[in-house]
Amino acid sequence: MHLDPHTMSDRSDDDNDTSLLTATKPKTKRPPLYKVLLLNDDFTPMEFVVHVLERFFGLNHAQAFEIMLTVHKKGLAVVGVFSHEIAETKVAQVMDFARRHQHPLQCTMEKEE
């Protein structure tokens, strides 16, 4: 096979382009996302958890029920992934709502890796 020097020089240009792209990528990176988690406890009624998921996370009954079962069986479940601000708001809303209903339901957030 005949290697055209011109093609080879094009190839090295491409390499330079990709290294440039990689170097500038962090600036265009999207802000980190946060997972919102519901934690299991032995006191919060299952119906209340389902209601919280429908109300604050816009899930339908079947989706909410599924996640509630996951929380119940595994001890926790990710209920959504949001920007920092929205995740923080959801956690606060859930915690506030649970407290007002005298339930010890815990909702937390962690940075998505």
Length of the chain: 113
What's the pLDDT score for residue 22?
Answer: 56
| Full-model pTM | 0.73
User: What average pLDDT score do residues 50-73 get?
Assistant: 98
pLDDT band at 24 (very low <50, low <70, confident <90, very high): low
| Domain 41-111, second-level architecture | 2-Layer Sandwich (3.30)
Are 90 and 36 in contact by the 8 Å Cβ rule? The answer is yes
Burial of 41 (0-12, 13-18, 19+ CB in 10 A): middle
What is the secondary structure of 22-60 as a DSSP string?
HHHHHHHPPPPEEEEEEE--SSS-HHHHHHHHHHHH---
Average pLDDT over residues 48-72: 98
